[in-house]
């Protein structure tokens, strides 16, 4: 019996299983975030945005689009990936993945690939929804796609780590709800850091989300709170950090194997 060096059928099985799970829960996966985002546009774009000045020459309603997409991308990537790996741990079906001839890299490809795919699709749906509310342009569509994919991958990897770390549903929800969402709100999703007085403008630069939102916004309007190179480095750095953590998890079997 010959065994290939790369278990593509195994990766595809995990990926397809995870995507099928999203289709079963289409309402929670897609419709809920779209409605939530639409409400943001009604409140921030319509009701409040109409009374706001342009931000760096960009109408406020259009200005918040990248931030809103990032907010959904962060939380959905985290939830999709963390539940993807936590659920088999919770139900016990993880035994099958652990006993299969799949490498840690292939397991991550399957779970994180599916979570990132779902998040990117969701990001594009929110973008399309936003286009119904505000006129906008995307100056650097390729960079926009690159940031979208890289950030979705990085946060899906982070979510995968949370899913392995979490012992219960409360812990799984703890980081997205109590850490990532506040950091996103304080990370320039709805404002430019230039609008903050000192010392808060300096303090906010310690928030890693600032760099991600800024890079993504730059791809839309050619302007960001920090240089786009710094944003890209922060994104890739975060992704690499998550990969290192996952490599350690599989090497030690942390909360996967006894």
CB of 248 vs another protein, minimal distance in Å: 15
Q: How far is the CB of 100 from another protein (least distance, A)?
A: 4
Cα gap 117→42, rounded to integer Å: 27
- The region that residue 222 occupies, defined by phi over 0 for left and psi between -120 and 50 for alpha, beta otherwise, is left
Residue placing its CB nearer to another protein in the complex, 49 or 110: 110
DSSP class of residue 55 equals: B
**CB of 89: closest distance to another protein in angstroms?**
11
Binding to another protein, residues 226-255 (CB under 8 A): 253
198 binds another protein per the rule CB under 8 A? no
Distance CA 132, CA 141 (A): 18
Each residue 21-40 as x (binds another protein by CB under 8 A) or -, in order, gives x--x----------------
Question: Does residue 92 bind another protein (CB under 8 A)?
Answer: yes
| 54 lies in the binding site for another protein (CB under 8 A) | no
| Backbone φ and ψ of 25, nearest 5° | -115, 45
**Which of 200, 248 has the CB closer to another protein?**
248
Interatomic CA distance for residues 108 and 105, integer angstroms: 5
Q: Which of residues 93-132 bind another protein (CB under 8 A)?
A: 93, 95-103
Answer for which of 12, 105, 185, 250 binds another protein (CB under 8 A) is: 12
Crossing angle for the helix pair 228-252 and 104-133, nearest 10 degrees? 140
**In 10 A of CB 39, how many CB atoms?**
10
């Amino acid at each position: 019996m010959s065994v290939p060096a790369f278990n593509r059928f195994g990766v595809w099985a995990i990926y397809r299983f995870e995507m099928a799970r999203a289709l079963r829960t289409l309402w929670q996966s897609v419709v809920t975030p779209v409605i939530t985002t639409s409400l943001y546009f009604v409140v921030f774009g319509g009701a409040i945005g109409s009374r706001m000045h342009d931000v760096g020459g960009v109408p406020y309603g259009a200005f918040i689009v990248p931030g809103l997409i990032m907010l959904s991308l962060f939380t959905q990537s985290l939830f999709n990936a963390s539940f993807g790996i936590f659920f088999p741990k919770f139900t016990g079906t993880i035994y099958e993945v652990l006993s299969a001839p799949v490498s840690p890299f292939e397991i991550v490809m399957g779970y994180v690939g599916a979570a990132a795919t779902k998040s990117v699709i969701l990001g594009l749906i929110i973008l399309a929804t936003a286009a119904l509310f505000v006129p906008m342009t995307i100056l650097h569509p390729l960079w926009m796609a690159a940031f979208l994919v890289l950030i979705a991958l990085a946060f899906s990897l982070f979510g995968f780590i949370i899913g392995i770390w979490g012992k219960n549903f409360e812990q799984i929800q703890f980081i997205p709800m109590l850490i990532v969402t506040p950091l996103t709100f304080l990370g320039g999703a709805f404002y430019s850091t230039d609008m903050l007085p000192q010392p808060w403008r300096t303090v906010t630069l310690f928030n890693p989300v600032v760099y991600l939102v800024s890079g993504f916004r730059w791809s839309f309007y050619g302007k960001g709170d920090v240089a786009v190179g710094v944003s890209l480095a922060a994104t890739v750095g975060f992704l690499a950090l998550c990969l290192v953590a996952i490599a350690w998890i599989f090497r030690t079997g942390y909360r996967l194997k006894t």
